[in-house]
Amino acid sequence: MKKAVKPTLYLHGKLLCPLTLGRAAIFSVEDRIYHTSAVVRIHAVNSDEVHFETQHTHYYLNTRPFAAAVRRPPIPVLAACA
pTM: 0.72
Return d(Cα 74, Cα 63) in angstroms, integer: 20
Q: Provide the pLDDT confidence category of residue 47 given band limits of 50, 70 and 90.
A: confident
On the CB side of 14, CA atoms within 13 Å amount to 8
pLDDT in tens, 5-27: 899 999 999 999 999 999 999 99
Sheet strands (E) in the chain: 8-12, 14-15, 24-29, 32-45, 49-54, 58-62
